[in-house]
């Protein structure tokens, strides 16, 4: 049994498998995930686990070089967006929600949380540790 870090076996394996330039998506409970796109379902009930808590756990082990969110996130959920920015090492790029959804099939996986904040989704761009 792992002593610390990501204890969820699928999340731990996902981070270990991630390579430079690949993407991992953290999603709210309502994001439609296209058929065939790898997914890890974490949602237990509405709000649990929250996306920012999962993000903190993932960032504890994953090197990222950037993040992307939907511009609607900043507009519709500005308080949540501000908290997200505080968790990320750099300010996220913004694209439309439709473009974000179009990028899902190329992701290494989508991690769906219990988050219920509108447009609370983030694409993590994997980096390297050297």
2-17: average pLDDT:
94
Q: Where along the chain do its domains lie?
A: 9-126
**DSSP calls for 63-79:** -EEEEEEEHHHHHH-HH
Q: Identify the active-site residue in 8, 20, 97, 125.
A: 20
Cβ atoms of 79 and 24 within 8 Å: the answer is no
For the segment 68-111, what is each residue's pLDDT rounded down to a tens digit?
Answer: 999 999 999 999 999 999 999 999 999 999 999 999 999 999 99
Q: What's the rounded Cα separation, in Å, for the pair 127 and 24?
A: 11
CATH architecture of the domain formed by 9-126: 3-Layer(aba) Sandwich (3.40)
- Assess whether the previous peptide bond of 103 is cis (omega < 30° from 0): no
Give the mean pLDDT of the chain: 97
The model's pTM is 0.96
Active site residue 20: yes
For the segment 26-70, what is each residue's pLDDT rounded down to a tens digit?
Answer: 999 999 999 999 999 999 999 999 999 999 999 999 999 999 999
User: Sign of dihedral through CA atoms 112, 65, 86, 81?
Assistant: negative
């Amino acid at each position: 049994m792992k002593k610390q870090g990501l204890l969820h076996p699928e999340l731990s394996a996902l981070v270990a498998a991630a390579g430079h330039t690949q993407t991992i998506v953290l999603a709210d409970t309502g994001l439609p995930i296209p058929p065939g796109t790898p997914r890890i379902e974490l949602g237990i009930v509405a709000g649990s686990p929250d996306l920012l808590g999962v993000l903190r756990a993932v960032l504890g082990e994953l090197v990222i070089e950037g993040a992307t969110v939907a511009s609607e996130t900043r507009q519709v959920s500005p308080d949540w967006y501000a908290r997200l920015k505080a968790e990320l090492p750099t300010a996220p790029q913004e694209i439309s929600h439709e473009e974000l959804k179009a990028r899902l099939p190329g992701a290494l996986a989508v991690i769906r949380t219990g988050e219920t904040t509108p447009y609370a989704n983030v694409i993590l761009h994997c980096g390297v540790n050297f």
